[in-house]
Chains A and B, each alone.
Chain A
Amino acid sequence: MIEVDNLHKSFGESHVLKGISSKFEKGKTNLIIGQSGSGKTVFLKCLLGLFSPDKGSISYDGKIYSELSASEQRNLRQEMGMVFQGSALFDSMTVQGNVMFPLGMFTKQSKSEMQDRVDFVLKRVNLVDAHNKFPSEISGGMQKRVAIARAIVMNPKYLFCDEPNSGLDPKTAILIDNLIHEITQEYDITTVINTHDMNSVMEIGEKIIFLKNGLKEWEGSNKEIFKTENEAVTDFVYSSELFKKVRQMYIEERN
């Protein structure tokens, strides 16, 4: 479980996070949503330890990050997996090289053990014929799947995803969402996803946090978000015509 308490972060005069508190439970897909500029990415980077908060604390299963020594922080980071918006695969390495990279850096496994693990995770993300291809030779959806494979190859306790289905067609986006959801439940991982894709919210949002201007505006599940009366949330959720129609149907049905 990840617990965030009164998180503040500023860049110069700009106060980006203004005291966010929340809990992200194990085995659940937790979604952070909000408009561009609401502080989602800064919040996620604070969770990842890439930004140090100005005030407040983040604890991972009881261990407060800021109180850990540099080596303990490094060890904790090895328990984290991250799927970046642009996949962030290493261009100079093949798919297999990318997935094997953390194993080679942090484990003392033999070459054959590493190969077995890489084969297993690539099969898990439904990529069986791409071992020797370079990131530039595969599609965006495949790159995302390689990024997921790389993120889970070390059996992480925490999985973070920054807009995992941006730039993907709706069908592939749903496949990626479902894959992350399945992996979260299968390996009992604490997953935090940064997104503004409402399809993801509907599909896998077991817990949703809505950020607005650096504050937590609303918190709930994908079932609750369509019933909320919070104006900021409804403005965001029903900004697309499709969802406006869905809401209209919901209201008519209720009446």
Chain B
Amino acid sequence: MKTLILKEIDELVYGSMGIIIFISFFIGGVVSIQTALNITNPLIPRNLIGFATRQSVILEFAPTFTSIIMAGKVGSYITSSIGTMRVTEQIDALEIMGVNSLNYLVFPKIIAMLFYPFVIAIAMYVGIFGGWTAGVFGGFSSSADFVEGLQLDFIPFHVTYSFIKSIVFALIIATIPSFHGYYMKGGALEVGKASTTAFVWTSVVIIIVNYILTQLLLG
């Protein structure tokens, strides 16, 4: 089981780092530029760019936007891999051997996804770094203003809130696609349909849970 968990951490968490870093960097950059371009009033301080980037990335872009991306990448991988095992009778083979197939296939994925908050932490860091890069090198803000904005009115609970959300989203990303893969019926075409359905449902549930958690934790 230990080997399986490590393999899943490699596949689901470590294997997603590249795309997460890429997306976070550019999303942070875009948030920074959009904020700068919308400040037309000279009375609004330039440190708002750093402040808005920090708040947007920590509160929503890192945990929620990244989770939607992960629902597509990791979720469809989970559904299609388990679904293919169902179609090719590999799950039946496990059952006949006396292996609890649900436990064997799904449990390591759930444990592996508990490392997901580390991905979110990196997404936060890279997103803010992307915002700083775009703000400073795009000529929208000085580095000092941006860093001042980052430190302005910082509420540590916002990071906790973000990590709480990411743990809940991790469980959603691991379980809903597993359900759609494990209980699917049919052939190769149905594997594709199950992956699409799993992505849609995972995204919908993430959006709804995001609303509920925000209301509960920050409301």
A residues with a Cβ closer than 8 A to B are: 48-50, 74-75, 77-78, 80, 82, 84-86, 88-91, 101-102, 105-106, 160
Instruction: Report yes or no: A78 in contact with B90, Cβ–Cβ below 8 A.
Output: no
- A sample of 19 more A-B contacts (CB under 8 A), given A84-B89, A91-B88, A105-B98, is A48-B96, A50-B92, A50-B96, A74-B100, A77-B95, A77-B96, A77-B98, A78-B98, A80-B96, A82-B93, A84-B92, A85-B89, A88-B88, A88-B89, A88-B92, A90-B85, A90-B90, A91-B90, A101-B97
- Count A-B pairs with CB separation below 8 Å: 44
Instruction: Report yes or no: A77 in contact with B92, Cβ–Cβ below 8 A.
Output: no
Known A84-B89, A86-B88, A90-B90: A50·B98 in contact at CB below 8 Å: no
Cβ contacts under 8 Å, A78 to chain B: 97-98
Is residue B17 contacting chain A, with contact meaning CB distance below 8 A?
Answer: no
B78 CB to closest chain A CB (Å) equals: 14
CA gap between A101 and B93 in the complex, in Å: 11
Complex partner residue of B99 from A48, A49, A82, A105, CB under 8 angstroms: A105
Question: Secondary structure at chain B's binding surface: helix, strand, loop or mixed?
Answer: helix
Question: Closest 3 A-B residue pairs measured CB to CB?
Answer: A77-B98, A88-B89, A88-B93
B72-95 to A contact mask, C-beta < 8 Å, 1/0:
000000000000110011101101
CA gap between A80 and B94 in the complex, in Å: 12
A-B contacts, 8 listed (Cβ < 8 Å): A74-B100, A77-B96, A78-B98, A84-B93, A88-B90, A88-B93, A90-B93, A106-B98
Cβ contacts under 8 Å, A74 to chain B: 98, 100
B residues with a Cβ closer than 8 A to A are: 84-85, 88-90, 92-93, 95-100
CA gap between A102 and B98 in the complex, in Å: 9
B123 CB to closest chain A CB (Å) equals: 28
CA gap between A49 and B100 in the complex, in Å: 13
Residue of B nearest to A154 (CB): B97
B104 CB to closest chain A CB (Å) equals: 9
Instruction: Report yes or no: B88 in contact with A82, Cβ–Cβ below 8 A.
Output: no
Instruction: Report yes or no: B97 in contact with A102, Cβ–Cβ below 8 A.
Output: yes
B141 CB to closest chain A CB (Å) equals: 49
CA gap between A82 and B98 in the complex, in Å: 12
Complex partner residue of A77 from B84, B89, B97, CB under 8 angstroms: B97
CA gap between A105 and B94 in the complex, in Å: 10
CA gap between A90 and B90 in the complex, in Å: 6
Cβ contacts under 8 Å, A77 to chain B: 95-98
B128 CB to closest chain A CB (Å) equals: 37
Residue of B nearest to A105 (CB): B99
Name which of B84, B85, B97 has the most chain A CB atoms within 10 A of its CB.
B97
CA gap between A48 and B98 in the complex, in Å: 11
Cβ contacts under 8 Å, B88 to chain A: 86, 88, 91
B140 CB to closest chain A CB (Å) equals: 48
Cβ contacts under 8 Å, B90 to chain A: 88-91
Residue of B nearest to A83 (CB): B93
CA gap between A84 and B85 in the complex, in Å: 13
